[in-house]
Amino acid sequence: MRRSKLLLSLLLVTAGTLFSACGKQEDSAAKNEKIQVVTTFYPMYEFTKQVVGDQGKVELLIPAGTEPHDFEPSAKDLAKIADADAFVYNSPELETWTKDLANSIDKKQTTIIEAAKGIDLMAGTKAEDEHDHAEDEKAEHEHEGHEHNHELDPHVWLDPVLASQEVETICQQLSQKYPKEQATFEKNAAAYQKKLAALDQEYQTAFKTAQNKTFVTQHAAFGYLAKQYGLTQEAISGVSPDQEPSPARVSELKHYVEEHDVKVIYFEENATSKVAETLSKETGVRLEVLNPLESLTTKQIKAGEDYISVMEANKKALQESIK
C-alpha cells in the first residue's frame, strides 16, 4: 500500500538514469551556458528570477494554474531537476515530495534551496470539526508515504516581510555556489527587496488604524499576512484548499458572518468556490477574490501580472472589509 512512495523512488531512479546517460556527456558544454535553475511554483519562480536576473535561466516546474499542494512530479520533472544547477522550493510542508528528493539528487550537480528555511512555521489552521477528517487523511497519507494535511502552515510568501527573507535565502545559497556572481545576485536581491519593503509599508499604512480587523476567507492561506499586520483570519477551510468544511462549520461561519456584520467573503479563482458561494447566498454577503499566489494563470502572466501587482490587488480587496 505504499505505492506513492515506491512510485516516487522508481521515478527518481529513472530520472537518475536519464541524467547519467545524457547529462554527463554535456558537462563541458554546460559549463559555458548560463545558470539553469528549476523552481517549483510561482512565488519561488518570481523570487529566484529577480535574484538571478540575466545571469541564468529560471524555469517553473509546476505549470501555470496548477494547484501546488497536491502536485506530484513525473520522471521528466525529476530529470529536469537533476540536470539543473539549482533547485528552489518553498518547504517540505508544501512540496511534500521533496522529502524523498533531497536524498536522491547529486548535490554537487544540483544545489537544493529551501527558501523558507530558518522561518518559524505556524501551526496549520483547521476548523475544529475538520480534525477527525484530517486525522483520517493523515493516517492514509502517512501509510502512502506523503502527507498533505499540512500540520504546519507553508504560506509564508504571502507576508512581504517573510517573502523578503526567502529572497535573501535564495540569494545567499546561489552566491555560495557561484561566488563570482555574488555581487550581481546581491544587487538584484536588494533591488527587489526594496520593492517588497515598499509593499510592506503599503500594507502597514492600509491597516494600521482599521477598526474591524477580521476577514473571512475560503482558504486559510493568509495567517502570516494576518499576523504581520495585526489582522484576524476566519477561514472556511484549512490550509489546503481541497479541505472541505463540515456542515457544522459552515453553519458556525454563517452565524459569525451575521453576528459580526461581515460584508465580504473572500475566495480564490483557481480553486473551487462552491462553499464560499453557498455561504454568500445564505448570508447575502458579496464575494471578492483574494489570491494566495500559489499559481498565476497563463492569462495573468501574459497580462503582466506578478507578485507585487497581485499583492497590491489583495490589499485593495482586503480594504473592502477591513476598515
Encode 262-313 in three state secondary structure: CCEEEECCCCCCHHHHHHHHHHCCEEEECCCCCCCCHHHHHCCCCHHHHHHH
Q: Are residues 239 and 172 in the same domain?
A: no
Let me know whether 31 and 111 are in one domain: yes
Q: Are residues 33 and 153 in the same domain?
A: yes
Question: Is residue 119 one of the residues assigned to a domain?
Answer: yes
pLDDT band at 58 (very low <50, low <70, confident <90, very high): very high
Whether residue 202 lies inside any domain: the answer is no
Is 200 part of a structural domain of the chain? no
Share of the chain above pLDDT 90, in %: 53
Per residue in 176-198, pLDDT (tens digit) is 999 999 999 999 999 999 999 99
Q: What is the pLDDT of residue 251?
A: 83
Asked if residue 267 and residue 165 are part of one domain, the reply reads no
Same domain, 172 and 211: no
Confidence at 66, pLDDT banded by 50, 70, 90: confident
The larger pLDDT score, comparing residue 253 to residue 13, is at: 253
204-231 per-position pLDDT tens digit: 999 999 998 999 988 889 999 999 999 9
Query: CATH number of the domain that 307 lies in?
Result: 3.40.50.1980
Give the tens place of pLDDT for each residue, 127-152: 444 444 444 444 344 434 444 455 89
The reply to whether 136 and 219 lie within a common domain is: no
121 and 9: one domain? yes
Q: Identify whether residues 153 and 238 lie together within a single domain.
A: no
Residues 6+ apart with CB under 8 A from 230: 207, 213
Average pLDDT for 80-109: 91
Q: Domain boundary residue among 194, 226, 242?
A: 194
pLDDT at 197: 98
pLDDT of residue 181: 97
Reported as a single tens digit per residue, the pLDDT across 234-266 is: 988 776 665 667 788 778 888 888 888 888 989
Beta bridge partners of 39: 60, 88
Judged by average pLDDT, the poorest of 154-158, 299-303, 304-308 is 299-303
Average pLDDT, the chain: 82
Tens-digit pLDDT profile for residues 266-296: 988 765 567 778 888 888 889 899 999 998 8
Per-residue model confidence (pLDDT) at position 275: 75
Q: Is residue 96 in some structural domain?
A: yes
Q: Do residues 186 and 214 both lie within one domain?
A: no
Q: Which domain holds residue 56?
A: 3-194
Given this model, what pLDDT does residue 270 score?
A: 63
Find the mean pLDDT for residues 43-56.
Answer: 97
Is residue 199 in a domain? no
What's the number of domains the chain is made of? Answer: 2
Cα end-to-end span (Å), the chain: 51
Nearest to 90 by CA among 280, 259, 283, 293: 293
Q: Which amino acid is at 116?
A: A
Residue 201 counted as domain residue? no
The pLDDT assigned to 130 comes to 43
Final residue in a domain of this structure, among 194, 223, 247: 194
Does residue 266 sit in the same domain as residue 309? yes
Q: What is the pLDDT of residue 273?
A: 67
